[in-house]
Amino acid sequence: MKILLDANALMIPVQFQIDLFDELRMLLGAFEPVVLSGVIGELTGLSRAKGRDGAAARHGLVLGEKCTIVESGELQSGSVDAQMIEYAARNACMVVTNDRHIRNALMTRGISVISIRNQKKLEILRR
């Protein structure tokens, strides 16, 4: 099963001390993590910051290297958020995000979302 990860999902381990891939394995079993190239670009920009957000973004880039990276230039949508929604809809994959805008847009389209619950663990919001 393909699982699409956004930038804030890849920053979860540093921000919330949650092992993202272990949590996903416990929740789903086997999965294929997928990241859009635009998300890598977002993380690269954020990684230049100092402090916790910069560290989280740098760690997110390391995690992103362990994922299948899909070229987002092939998608019609302009923003990275819109590209994530388009990719998830086209490929019928779940999305890991804490972004309320993306989460609501995905759930409106009937796409399952995985998000943080109580800043401690991941949960599926819709299947």
Per-residue pLDDT for 116 more than 90? yes
Q: In this structure, which CATH number among 3.40.50.1010, 3.40.50.720, 3.90.550.10, 3.40.50.10860 belongs to the domain 2-124?
A: 3.40.50.1010
pLDDT at 45: 95
The sign of the CA dihedral 105, 44, 34, 121 is negative
Task: Provide the whole-model pTM.
Answer: 0.93
**Residue 72 pLDDT grade (very low, low, confident, very high; cuts 50, 70, 90):** confident
Q: What is the pLDDT of residue 119?
A: 82
| Pair 102, 81: CB distance under 8 Å | yes
* Residue 5 DSSP one-character state: E
Average pLDDT estimate for 97-102: 93
Domain regions of the chain by residue span: 2-124
